Amino acid sequence: MGFRDKVFRIDRVAFQGGDKQIPVLSKNYRSIALYVIEKIENPIVFMNRTEVKDFSDKGPLTQRGIRKCRNFYIHNSSEIVIGFHDHPNEMWISDKYRGLAEHCQRQEWLKIEGPPSERIIFKDNLSRWKLLLKIRGETDPTEKSFIEKLRQLYRAIQSRPK
């Protein structure tokens, strides 16, 4: 099994959250957001670091608005329940709110992609690796240099104190 075929667990470089996080592949962003907002006690919604108070279809919390958003988080008071950075395909839900994720999956609004983890799971997916390198300030690398940069990044993360 080669370097690119393995599944790596990458420390949260750009993501902050509660305990463990469940990676999900979202389909209907608005429905997920509205359901989470409805079910938690004290919802606080941030889109691109700006608090959102208008949850109507005239406000920014629309399918299109969420898709264009770069930073999206829904908090329950000070605890992050759900969020993503860069694109809704990077969405995760806090393991504490697993019931919300399971309901959304039954409604076919999202698909749970893996088990909860204290680290974000990146599979062999070129765009996700490029995202991680971009977050770390790297330029869009060529394929050959990309593999070497991934090896360096992986070694650096493995050597970090826990």
Backbone dihedral region for residue 60 (phi beyond 0: left; psi -120 to 50: alpha; all else: beta): alpha
- In tens, the pLDDT along 93-134 reads 998 999 999 999 999 999 998 888 764 444 445 555 555 565
Domain boundaries, the chain: 3-123
**pLDDT tens by residue, 59-93:** 999 999 999 999 999 998 878 899 988 888 889 99
